Structures are given as structure tokens and as C-alpha cells.
Amino acid sequence: MNTILVEVTTKCLHKCAGCCNHFDGNIEIDYDILSKFLDYARRYCNKLTLCGGDPLLYSKLHDLLEFAKAKDYFISLDTVGYNISEDLDQTIPTVSPRFLSTKVDMLGLCIDGSTNQIAQSFRTNYIDIIDRQLNLLSFLENYKLNICINTVVSKKNYYDLKNIYNLIKNFNNIKKWQLFEFVATGNGYKNRDVYEIADYDNIVDDLLSQIDNSKFLIQKKHKNARSTNYILITPKGTAIIPDPDNNSNIEIGNIKNQSTFDTIIAEILKSNEHRSIYE
Ligand code: SF4
């Protein structure tokens, strides 16, 4: 699949010390500009991945999902998931799981440890994060939603991966488990000594050798495979190639400027030759 990766908002309920964001305010992508780009790009690209921040906090999420699904994009959305609820009487705007199940083809949820304590060493702000994620996974079994579990593998949890597997292995709607090697960018750059690991390959290979007949796909996401190999459209509309080795980005255009559409799409198609990064 040729994938467009869009960071729709920097808003998030967490402030993880290892986050790839810079936390420079609550910025959202302009919906009209994004939809115009997606409309144009659809003849070349068939998958849309929404990330953030937390895309479920994007104020135009409903419009965007309706639009992208009408254009027949395969939609993948990565979230913490705290505001997925049928209960409208909440302090934060909620997103209905029923609505998500009609629009989102793959919902990514983060689980970074088998206990609240381990997971909280990466995803801060909520001391009961694993209790919440397990409740959410159980709740989502009532809906027709494909789930991808995203784990950031770091110094804080590398020894806990088998326990995470045991925690998630019996949920029927989990289709994929992605094991991302921690990459030091954004906020995470200054905390790289806390999280970076040297032997990601051995750790994950060792885990895989211990798992037989997993019901879901387990994917390695090595940082070298991602470095300078994908295009991200930021909330400001800038299309960038992240270069974590140098803690910088290479700018290739901006979707506000229609004359850069073809350049951006050409780079997306080139980057999708490394498509295991996204899928
Ligand atoms: S890592 Fe994810 S959950 Fe944590 S602050 Fe960043 S966007 Fe939010």
C-alpha cells in the first residue's frame, strides 16, 4: 500500500518523556487543506495513517474520517484511546467506538509494559495506564475493530516483552503487534540516555524465538529502517523526512502549496518502497 502519514494534531493527554513530539503548543492541521491534498493524492496512494499527538483529539476527526473513507482510503489511526467511549457526559470530547468501527481499518493502541509501573516509565500522566488499556481492549471486543498494539521498546521495558505478549495474546481483535525501537527525536532526544537500547535486534529475536503460533502478526520496527525512510505531514502542513540520527528534518514541501503536491507524492511513493515501516 502507498501510505500517507499525517500528524493531524500535537494535542495529547500524555507528556511522555520519550515522545517524538516537541510539545510546541496545540497545533492542528487545517482540514480543508488536508482534504484537498488527500483528494489529489488518492490516485497514487491508498492508505492513510493518522498519528499525533493523539488523532482522537483532532477537532475535525469526524469530517476527516468520513471524507477519507468516502475516498476509499484504508485508514489506520494510532491513539492512546482514552476518549473512546459511548458516554457523552465526559470532560473531554469522546469518540464513539461504533463510529470508529465503520471508518477505521486498523486502530493502533499503545501498551509499553505489562504493569502500570513499567508502562508509566514511558507513557506518563496516568498511573493506571495498563488497567485502562486492558479495560479498553475488553470493551472494544464488542465492536468490529481491528487492533494493532504498538510497543516502544526501550531500556525501561526490554525485559518485559514476553509478559506484554502474555497480557495481550488472548484478545481476539488484535491483528498485529508492532515493536518499535525507541528513536530519540523531539522531546525524547534529551532523554535518549534513559530509553535508548543498543541490542534491539537480539532482544526482539529472542522474544520471537519464544513465541509459537501467535494469533496475530508480530513486527519488528528497527529504527534504522525508519530513519530518513518515511514522509510525515506535520500539523503545519509541512511534508518532512525525519532524520533522527541528526535530530532534524528534511523539508520537501507543504500541502498548503498545491505546486508541491507532486513533489510530496513522488517522495511518498519512493519511501513506500520501504513499506514495512508502516504496515
Ligand atoms: S508518545 Fe504518544 S502518548 Fe506520549 S506524549 Fe507523545 S504523542 Fe502523546
Query: 77: domain CATH number?
Result: 3.20.20.70
pLDDT exceeding 70 applies to what percent of the chain? 94
Report the DSSP pairing between strands 238-243 and 74-79: unpaired
Instruction: Give the residue from 78, 129, 114, 106 showing the smallest Cα distance to 216.
Output: 106
The residue type of 255 is I
Report pLDDT digits (tens) over 92-145.
778 999 999 999 999 999 999 999 999 999 987 788 999 999 999 999 999 999
Contacts of residue 14, defined as CB under 8 A and 6 or more positions apart, other chains included, come to: 54, 80, 123, 124, 125, 126
**Confidence grade of residue 277 (pLDDT, cut at 50, 70, 90):** very low
- Local structure of 14: helix, strand or coil: coil
Structural domain for 214, as ranges: 3-277
Number of domains in the chain: 1
Instruction: Give the residue from 22, 84, 76, 86 showing the smallest Cα distance to 46.
Output: 76
Closest ligand 1 atom to Cα of 80: 3
Closest ligand 1 atom to Cα of 186: 6
Ligand 1 site residues (CB inside 6 A) read: 12, 14-16, 19, 21, 52-54, 80, 123
Report pLDDT digits (tens) over 172-215.
999 999 999 998 887 888 889 999 999 999 999 999 999 999 99
Q: Alpha carbon of 233 to those of 66, 150, 276: distances in Å?
A: 20, 20, 19
